Amino acid sequence: MKITGYRSLLTEHRWGRPVGDVNGVVRSGVTEVPVVLVETDGGLTGVGLGAHDAIDRVFPAIEGEDPRAVSALYDRMLSWVFKAGHAGSTFATIGALDTALWDLKAKMAGEPLWRLLGARDRFVAGYASGLEYGLDGDGLVELYSRFAERGFTGAKVKGGLDLRRDVARLGAVREVMSRHSDEPALMYDVNESWGRHQARRLLARVEAQVELTWIEEPVRRWDVEGHLAMARSTSTAIATGENLTGLEQFRPLVAAGAVDVVQTGSVWGPTHFLRVAAFAHAHDLPVSPVAYNGNLLAHAAAAVPNHLVSEVQDLSFPVGLRVDQSFEDGGIVLGDEPGLGVVVDEAEIAATVAAGSWATPAGPHVRPRESGLRLAIPRDSAAPLRIASAG
């Protein structure tokens, strides 16, 4: 079987609520979801999700190749673009194509990808992460109550500007997640909004009031010294890595002891995740991937020995995508359909006018110029402070 071509589709995810973080909120609750379909001369089609703006540049590296050689084709794509570099949209494209190739490989074997990769169990532990920065207190409690109903015992809260508001929201989420655990896990994600000059002080203020499981991306993603300073000054675990592109970007953080929970992003593909997970495992570190738009990395997460927990951002799927998985007992339960278990309804997608604003150059989900450069932290008025009771 040979790879013969590709097609690009654009659908959308309808969250039914504002979504975003301290860098910006998409108030419409609609975000675009690029889909790439890799076609073969054998009639099978591989499905990949994620931005693939550089596909015209990258696809020639795999055209005419046997998709079963997926790991070698991943390296071939990296080699194809090595002169100009593989970061940014190029790496995203490689990840989307890599995802489609793994889907094809498992379909050719007639197995779900988690089984092909050697997983013993179809269950993947998860934590709730609703991108809930734009919600008021009532909305926050209602959202995480839905996750708690599915057995989740941990959740992540977005913050970074108004610490009083953040602490109140962390407390409210803790109450919600206490339904199944006396000590629910609380993750606090400030999305690189702090500067090194203030990060330790601000985290200490939050830690004095709430017990945290980890602090995520407290400083810029590549700041080894900043992460190391945080690690030395706190008992809270340091989590980072979801936005790093390339295995080589993890090496300095891990070598310095500046990260405790190694994260990966869903859009970079299973091969990237598997290599990062192996690298982290060699250093006795757990790995935690972002699960987004179909939670496709869950298949690979099920197969690695050091998977800690996967980030689950919503309990529904993008328009026109049927995904063979469910959410039970605080995690993702993968199904038995071959490949990634994703069925694409092209007619439904064609009838959808994708109107998301996640990747719009003007924002709102664009890092503000003042991020990390604030001398004082202003109170954020994006959402009311009032927190409803979880009962």
What pLDDT digit, counting tens, does each position of 273-321 carry? Answer: 999 999 999 999 999 999 888 999 999 999 999 999 999 999 999 999 9
Residues 104 and 126 in one domain: no
CA–CA distance, 112 with 291 (Å, rounded to integer):
17
The pLDDT of 33-48, averaged and rounded, is 97
Residues 122/371, Cβ–Cβ less than 8 Å:
no
The pLDDT of 105-133, averaged and rounded, is 98
Which one of 112, 134, 159 terminates a domain? 112
Predicted local confidence at residue 368, as pLDDT: 83
- Residue 372, phi then psi, degrees to nearest 5: 80, 0
Q: Token pair of 69, please?
A: 């050689």
365: pLDDT confidence band, cut at 50, 70 and 90?
Answer: confident
Strands (E), 245-358: 261-264, 287-291, 310-312, 321-323, 325-328, 331-334, 342-344
CA–CA distance, 119 with 123 (Å, rounded to integer):
10
Q: H-type helices in the chain, by residue range?
A: 55-58, 70-80, 88-109, 113-116, 137-149, 163-177, 199-207, 224-233, 251-255, 270-282, 298-301, 346-350
What CATH number is given to the structural domain containing 91? Answer: 3.30.390.10
Residues 241 and 146 in one domain: yes
Residues 332 and 199 in one domain: yes
CA–CA distance, 1 with 51 (Å, rounded to integer):
26
In a domain, 366, yes or no: no
Tell me: pLDDT of 378 over 90: no
Residues 96 and 127 in one domain: no
Residues 148/176, Cβ–Cβ less than 8 Å:
yes
Residue-level length of the chain? 391
Residues 23/158, Cβ–Cβ less than 8 Å:
no
Q: What is the mean pLDDT of the chain?
A: 93
- Flag the least confident range among 128-132, 154-158, 264-268: 264-268
Predicted local confidence at residue 379, as pLDDT: 62
Residues 119 and 205 in one domain: yes
**What is the domain count for the chain?**
2
In a domain, 144, yes or no: yes
Tell me: pLDDT of 192 over 80: yes
What single letter denotes the amino acid at residue 42? G
Residues 140 and 256 in one domain: yes
Tell me: pLDDT of 108 over 90: yes
Characterise 269 by phi-psi region: left (phi > 0), alpha (psi -120 to 50), beta (else).
Answer: left
Residues 176/206, Cβ–Cβ less than 8 Å:
no
In a domain, 362, yes or no: no
Residues 98 and 119 in one domain: no
The pLDDT of 243-272, averaged and rounded, is 95
3-class DSSP assignment, residue 82:
coil
Characterise 360 by phi-psi region: left (phi > 0), alpha (psi -120 to 50), beta (else).
Answer: beta
- Flag the least confident range among 69-73, 240-244, 372-376: 372-376
Residues 10 and 120 in one domain: no
Residues 167 and 301 in one domain: yes
Q: Token pair of 107, please?
A: 């379909």
Q: Domain limits at 260?
A: 115-339
In a domain, 15, yes or no: yes
In a domain, 390, yes or no: no
Tell me: pLDDT of 171 over 70: yes
- Residue 222, phi then psi, degrees to nearest 5: -100, 0
The DSSP secondary-structure symbol of 267 reads G
Residues 304 and 321 in one domain: yes
45: pLDDT confidence band, cut at 50, 70 and 90?
Answer: very high
In a domain, 315, yes or no: yes
3-class DSSP assignment, residue 315:
coil
Work out the angle between the directed axes of helices 199-207 and 224-233 (0-180°, nearest 10). Answer: 30
Tell me: pLDDT of 155 over 90: yes
Strands 45-49 and 123-128: unpaired
Residues 282/305, Cβ–Cβ less than 8 Å:
no
From residue 217, how far is each of 22, 23, 26, 259, 338 by CA, in Å?
Answer: 12, 13, 21, 10, 35
The whole-model pTM stands at 0.93
In a domain, 360, yes or no: no
Which one of 112, 135, 156 terminates a domain? 112
Nearest CA to 311 out of 171, 131, 96 is that of 131
Residues 166/188, Cβ–Cβ less than 8 Å:
yes
Residues 165 and 246 in one domain: yes
Strands 24-26 and 19-21: antiparallel
Which one of 80, 112, 144 terminates a domain? 112
266: pLDDT confidence band, cut at 50, 70 and 90?
Answer: confident
The pLDDT of 190-216, averaged and rounded, is 97
Tell me: pLDDT of 385 over 50: no
Predicted local confidence at residue 391, as pLDDT: 44
Predicted local confidence at residue 386, as pLDDT: 45
Predicted local confidence at residue 360, as pLDDT: 72
Predicted local confidence at residue 388, as pLDDT: 42
145 versus 389: the higher-pLDDT residue is 145
322: pLDDT confidence band, cut at 50, 70 and 90?
Answer: very high
Tell me: pLDDT of 27 over 90: yes
Residues 223 and 138 in one domain: yes
Residues 6 or more apart from 341 whose CB is under 8 A from it?
112, 113, 323, 324, 325, 334, 335
Tell me: pLDDT of 79 over 60: yes
Tell me: pLDDT of 36 over 80: yes
In a domain, 391, yes or no: no
Predicted local confidence at residue 42, as pLDDT: 96
